[in-house]
């Protein structure tokens, strides 16, 4: 087993993105990297349901979506009382590089901020960094 295969073992990534074509492209990139399980949600509301249903390892989220956008999604996740939910790593994948959006993301402890179009190497580097820094034990996952 390679180091990447070991790092990605048991990893589930939730992609919260309203544009189906973009979701498919991100999913394809994740498959190229070697992520075994990718779950999709079309907006923040659906993303919250998927977190409860699938317990993803990390979330990749767009900012501009309706009815629940990425900022609302991030704020809701970070203010949940359940520890494993509140601490899920979230990376914004967005075309929005406005200073106020970046500041909001920092305030709510975003784990990464990648501007679209995202290079495969940048996406892999951010995911690898997160996976190496989080505790993936059953206890940390609230299991």
Cα angle, residue 19 at apex, residues 13 and 23 outer, rounded to 5°: 30
Quote the CA–CA distance of 98 and 89 in Å, as a whole number. 21
Kindly report whether the global pTM for this prediction surpasses the value 0.75: yes
Q: Which residue positions in the chain have pLDDT lower than 70?
A: 1-3, 136-143
The two tokens of residue 96 are: 């929005």
Q: What is the mean pLDDT of the chain?
A: 92
Confirm if 60 and 13 have CB atoms less than 8 A apart: yes
pLDDT digits (tens, 9 = 90+) for 89-106: 999 999 999 999 999 999
Residue 50: inside a domain: yes
pLDDT digits (tens, 9 = 90+) for 39-56: 999 999 999 999 999 999
Among residues 92, 143, 133, 131, the alpha carbon closest in space to that of 10 is found at 131
| CATH number for position 34 | 3.40.50.2300
Quote the CA–CA distance of 110 and 74 in Å, as a whole number. 8
The count of domains in the chain is: 1
Owning domain of residue 66: 3-133
């Amino acid at each position: 087993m390679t180091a990447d295969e070991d790092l990605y073992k048991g990893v589930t990534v939730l992609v919260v993105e309203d544009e189906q074509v973009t979701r498919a492209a991100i999913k394809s990139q994740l498959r190229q990297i070697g992520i075994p399980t990718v779950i999709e949600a079309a907006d923040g509301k659906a993303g919250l349901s998927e977190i409860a249903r699938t317990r993803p390892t990390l979330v990749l989220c767009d900012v501009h979506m309706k009815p629940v956008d990425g900022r609302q999604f991030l704020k809701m996740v970070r203010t949940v009382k359940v520890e494993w939910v509140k601490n899920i790593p979230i990376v914004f994948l967005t075309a929005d590089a406005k200073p106020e959006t970046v500041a909001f993301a920092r305030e709510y402890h975003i784990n990464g901020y990648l501007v679209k179009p995202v290079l495969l190497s940048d996406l892999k580097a951010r995911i690898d960094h997160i996976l190496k820094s989080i505790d993936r034990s059953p206890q940390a996952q609230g299991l």
